[in-house]
Structure 1
Amino acid sequence: MLRPLLLAGVAALVLSACASNRGQLASADYAGMSAAQNHANLSELTARYRANPTDRATVIHYAAALRAAGQPQQAAAALEQAMPNHSGDVAISVAYAKALTAAGRFEQSIEVLRNVIRPDAPDWNALLVLGATLDQTGRHQEARKLYVQAGVIAPGEASIETNLGLSYAMTNDLVAAEKHLRRAVQMRGANTQTRQNLALVVGLQGRFDECRALYAAELPPDQVEANMAYVRALLTQQNRWDMIEKG
């Protein structure tokens, strides 16, 4: 029952959680930045992209900035133009799949990832993005198997535990979701979105004081109050107050 509303609130965070990559393109994640920072980054990257639209790093960063600015279709178009020049490149393909998923083109994203993931040596970040896309199509069991596989390849990555937590939150298993998110916040790569996801899951269990404290450690007071209002609205819409009181 909770999944549709959680998807509306955290779908973007699922992808942003998967954006963590320990390679040279690790900083291609602009989701946690302010609107002003995103605007400045996008202006700079647009100029770089226009000057050299086939450069691998430039197009990946440009597409990530576009996604953060709410322009996934444009991000997908830029990467689609770059794909022929980087045939078989995993990083380009993963970036393209992220843009497709953000644009709601789930089946196309899944196809791109299936084509680039090697059965004998899969890329953990590609597995993570595929899992996130499957989660958003309701295929949670398939997604979780991929997260477990990614965790074997890259143990200790916060993004893997974060996505597992969000996957369980989408099916309303908030206890399991909290367990994975608490693990995630202790791992390398944990960021403010990881901690805010934990706050959301704690709040959805009715532990408002703890939820507020978690948000307050990450956000200014006005945003804390906005998030608390969002948590309460989710609970009201999903008729969960009686469950919380009895629990």
Structure 2
Amino acid sequence: MKFKYTILLFAWVISSSLSHASDFDSLSELIQKGKETEAIAKINRYIQKYPNDPKVKFIYGATLDHFGRTQEAKKVFLHLNRKYPNNPTIKNNLGVLYAKLGEYSAAYTFFGSALRLKPNYQEAKNNQWLVQQKIN
């Protein structure tokens, strides 16, 4: 069973949101090569420079999860959810993280929240259906 993140390709995320930052020229490559320490260090430097940039925090959470640090990623996305409560993308990704952790009831709730904000959100619909299969 594979849940879907809203943003799947780190290279696309990085190039579309952070291409102006020279610090991130090689972030995608670091992630793809599995260089966790270096990738996280680059993201942390960017967070220090631009502490209010939600895109970099989104990338930080996704990167943590990519490297198997799902609990930490969940904390990042919970923080983003508190700061941006009307963002269905954040809610969908929180649902995915909860589902990965086996917390299906919470995942179902987050997918439902994403769908209330964006009723035609296909990934959230698919993810909610997958969680429903696990719950039943």
If the length of structure 2 is used for normalisation, what is the TM-score?
0.73
Over 3 Å counting, the alpha-carbon distance change for 1:120 and 1:97 in structure 2 is closer
Alpha-carbon distance in structure 2 between the residues aligned to 1:191 and 1:98: 27
Task: Tell me if structure 2 keeps the 8 A contact 1:164–1:180.
Answer: yes
TM-align CA RMSD: 3.4
Task: Name the counterpart of 1:245.
Answer: none
SS in 2 for 1:186: helix
Q: Indicate yes or no: 2:113 matched with 1:179.
A: no
Which fold has the larger relative contact order, with Cα–Cα distance below 8 Å and residues 6 or more apart in sequence? 2
SS in 2 for 1:138: coil
Q: Indicate yes or no: 2:87 matched with 1:157.
A: yes
Q: Indicate yes or no: 2:133 matched with 1:203.
A: yes
Q: Indicate yes or no: 2:57 matched with 1:137.
A: no
Over 3 Å counting, the alpha-carbon distance change for 1:172 and 1:152 in structure 2 is closer
Task: Tell me if structure 1 keeps the 8 A contact 2:114–2:121.
Answer: no
Deviation (angstroms), 1:104: 5.8
Deviation (angstroms), 1:142: 1.5
Post-superposition CA distance 1:33-84 (Å, at most 9, x none): xxxxxxxxxxxxxxxxxxxxxxxxxxxxxx53xx9xxxxxxxx9xx6xxx6x
Post-superposition CA distance 1:123-165 (Å, at most 9, x none): 2122122112212333233212211221233221011111111
Task: Tell me if structure 1 keeps the 8 A contact 2:95–2:108.
Answer: yes
Deviation (angstroms), 1:204: 2.0
User: Number of matched residues?
Assistant: 132
Gaps of 5+ in 1: 1-5, 20-30, 32-62, 68-75, 207-247
Structure number with larger C-alpha Rg:
1
Over 3 Å counting, the alpha-carbon distance change for 1:130 and 1:87 in structure 2 is same
Gaps of 5+ in 2: none
Task: Name the counterpart of 2:48.
Answer: 118
Identity %: 24
Over 3 Å counting, the alpha-carbon distance change for 1:86 and 1:127 in structure 2 is closer
Post-superposition CA distance 1:84-117 (Å, at most 9, x none): x7425xxxx4x9646754x362614323321211
If the length of structure 1 is used for normalisation, what is the TM-score?
0.44
Task: Name the counterpart of 1:105.
Answer: 34
Over 3 Å counting, the alpha-carbon distance change for 1:96 and 1:156 in structure 2 is farther
